[in-house]
Chains A and B, each alone.
Chain A
Amino acid sequence: MMHEMTSKPAKSSLQQQIDENLKKVYEEALKEEIPDRFKDLLAQLKAKEAGK
């Protein structure tokens, strides 16, 4: 029951929640759309390489 889950705040509970939130921080950042400038930059670098 609920009581059993909350009566003993295991030490790991804090760590677990911290880790869950850290993953969320990272996942939120992962969701940011990648600007085209990076793909353009890679294409540019590749073209320069090919032109050597």
Chain B
Amino acid sequence: MTVPAHVLPDPRDEIALHLPALRAFGISLTRNLSAADDLVQDTIVKAWSNIDKFTPGTDLRAWLFTILRNTFFSDKRKHKREVADPDGIHAQGLYDKPEHDGRLAFGEFLRAFDQLSPEHREVLILVGANGYSCEEASAMIGVAVGTVKSRTNRARAKLAALLGMEAGEAILAPDSGETLAVMSRSGAQAA
């Protein structure tokens, strides 16, 4: 589709459409609603005033994500405020039995996810959750494709380790005895 540039809509009018995704990405990176909102606010202002650097017809959402993650990581470098886990509540006892159906419990997963470095959360959210290719993620993050791939693998392995699992390990699948017990109880466990 070739449209003369002057007929193209102002991409700034489309920023609003991407706010939910942008904010979700910010929340995924910061794991903190108000920090995410500050990031989104900064991203909007930067995107607005730098819109001439956006190539019309390309992925606006990816462009906004890039601004947001650059803002996040450069703020982090500047302030060096490491959000430590003061009570160490997340440091142990992460591994609970999977839910009765053998699926990974979401609460456990979230706690493990929160423990990852923001760099690991970033690749997992871009590639694992958003379905961006490693090439697209590489452009957003500003690192080589190979780095995205290895970082994604390390992030997955770290998650699995935090969840008390090894890649390929059988813990996720209920053992046969558990399965039988669960099957016989399943009616009563609907709640």
User: Are these two chains actual partners, yes or no?
Assistant: yes
Nearest Cβ distance between residue B152 and chain A, in whole angstroms?
A: 10
> Is B5 in contact with chain A by the CB < 8 A criterion?
no
Q: A21-B104, A22-B128, A25-B113 are known contacts. Are A6 and B173 too (CB-CB below 8 A)?
A: yes
Interface size class of B (residues with CB under 8 A): 35 or more
Q: Is the interface of B mostly helix, strand, loop or mixed?
A: helix
> In the complex, are the beta carbons of B102 and A45 less than 8 A apart?
no
Chain A residues within 8 Å of B172, by CB: 9, 13-14, 17
How far, in angstroms, from A5 to B103 measured CA to CA in the complex? 13
* 1/0 contact string of B63-106 vs chain A (CB within 8 Å): 00000000000000000000000000000000000000011101
B101 → chain A closest CB, angstroms: 11
Q: How far is the CA of A23 from the CA of B109 in the complex (A)?
A: 12
* Pairwise interchain contact A14-B167, C-beta atoms closer than 8 A: yes
Question: Contact residue range for chain A?
Answer: 20 to 34
Please give the residue numbers on chain A whose beta carbons come within 8 Å of chain B beta carbons, in ascending order: 2-3, 5-7, 9-11, 13-15, 17-19, 21-27, 29-30, 32, 34-35, 37-39, 41-42, 45-46
- B residues apposed to A, CB below 8 Å: 12, 15-16, 19-21, 23-25, 27-28, 33, 37, 40-41, 44-45, 48, 102-104, 106, 109-110, 113, 124-125, 128-130, 156, 159-160, 165, 167-170, 172-176, 179, 183
Q: Which 9 A-B pairs have the closest CB atoms?
A: A29-B24, A26-B129, A29-B27, A22-B128, A11-B168, A22-B129, A21-B109, A9-B173, A30-B24
